[in-house]
Homo-oligomer: A and B are copies of this chain.
Amino acid sequence: MINFDETKIVENGKFIYQQREKIEGIADRIFDKKFDLLLFTSSGGSQAMLDPFAFYIRHMSKLQTENILSADLMLGACNRIGTGTVAFMTSKSGDTAETVAAARWLKEKGVYLVSVIGKENSLLEEISDDAIVYGEGRPQELVFYLMIGRILYRNGDFDSYPKFADELKGLAYALAQVRKQADEKCRQYALEYHKEPYNIWIGSGDLWPTAYSYSMCVLEESQWIRTKSVSSPEFFHGTLELLEEDVCTTLLLTEGVTREQDERVKAFAMQHTKKLTCFDCKDYELPGISDEFRYLLSPVVMAAVLQRISKNIEEITGHSLEIRRYYRKENY
């Protein structure tokens, strides 16, 4: 199994989980000081990582939430933002110009700002009211499962949170097992389809951001593979007409509340293309995680699965995931 280090994966999980008390402390402070809006803002793949948490809030509670790209935010995309807003941002470097500009803009509006950052002592950390530094820690979603889970719990929307949070101690280990279960299928997939001229990616609900960002931020950005992503319900409003027996179609099935949308796509696509691949979260065992919590974990399960495509495809294409034509190489 190429480029896989289980010990490191488990270590990276521990690095985040050991900050549980600090993370829950931030959640409690947010809850106790009151708020009228929980805002998730970032860009590209980082925004896609945050989006499922706005999704869970919208489904599980009556708390108000918005998820808005930082670029749009600063152009007035949410006029309601103010002193009652709590904003969550995430950034690997903590000094991306766009992200820092958005953070400053939010602070000028009197927003309470919580950041989740890869590096210590960044500009973003300095600007933020609270920050969690994850360093090499993975998956970053773990920070948000703990922080947002705790807020929902305090609000009476997630009574089983303490059990969930305890089980998350083993999340990184469970996701390492997912990678091992997924690798063979993912390697076959990469071998078979890395030269396809057009790739339709489909997902719904809490996995729509994954379908969107994996196709764009990995396949397009780092492999220069052409894609089209579309959500499962929207697939039936146009993209379905493109299906022919040789059109490469990849469907991600969530275990969340929108699963029936994915199953509808699967039933249709099976009849109209021979190049359909379904990656289904349900297919993977998650040792140490109770069934009752699986519906919340599709984004991290699928990220673990898809990582195995990435690791294999770069070896197969001989095109490292780090090569770029333009991104951060040109000014634009």
Contact = CB atoms under 8 A, between A and B. Distances in A.
B75 A240 contact: no
A95 B44 CA distance: 38
Contact of A234 (B216, B227, B330): B216
Contact of A79 (B45, B58, B264): B58
Given A61-B79, A72-B205, A77-B58, A332 B43 contact: no
B43 A237 contact: yes
A75 B258 contact: yes
Interface in A75-106: 75-80
Nearest to A258: B75
B80 A62 contact: yes
B205 A226 contact: no
Nearest to A240: B326
A29 interface: no
Number of copies of this kind of chain in the complex: 2
A79 to B, nearest CB: 6
A264 B72 contact: no
Given A216-B234, A230-B216, A234-B44, A76 B257 contact: yes
Contacts of A78: 58
Nearest to A230: B216
A59 interface: yes
B332 A241 contact: no
Contacts of A45: 237-238
A324 B258 contact: no
Residue among A78, A258, A326 with the most chain B CB within 10 A?
A326
A4 interface: no
Nearest to A68: B58
B243 A326 contact: yes
Nearest to A237: B44
Nearest to A241: B221
A325 interface: yes
Contacts of A55: 77
Nearest to A236: B332
A61 B80 CA distance: 7
A99 to B, nearest CB: 12
A220 interface: yes
Contact of A226 (B198, B204, B213, B217): B198
A278 interface: no
Nearest to A71: B233
Given A79-B58, A205-B72, A325 B228 contact: no
A266 to B, nearest CB: 11
Contacts of A193: none
Given A75-B205, A228-B226, A233-B71, A324 B80 contact: no
A326 to B, nearest CB: 5
5 contacts: A75-B260, A220-B238, A221-B238, A221-B239, A241-B325
Q: Give 4 closest A-B pairs by Cβ, nearest first.
A: A44-B237, A216-B238, A71-B233, A221-B238
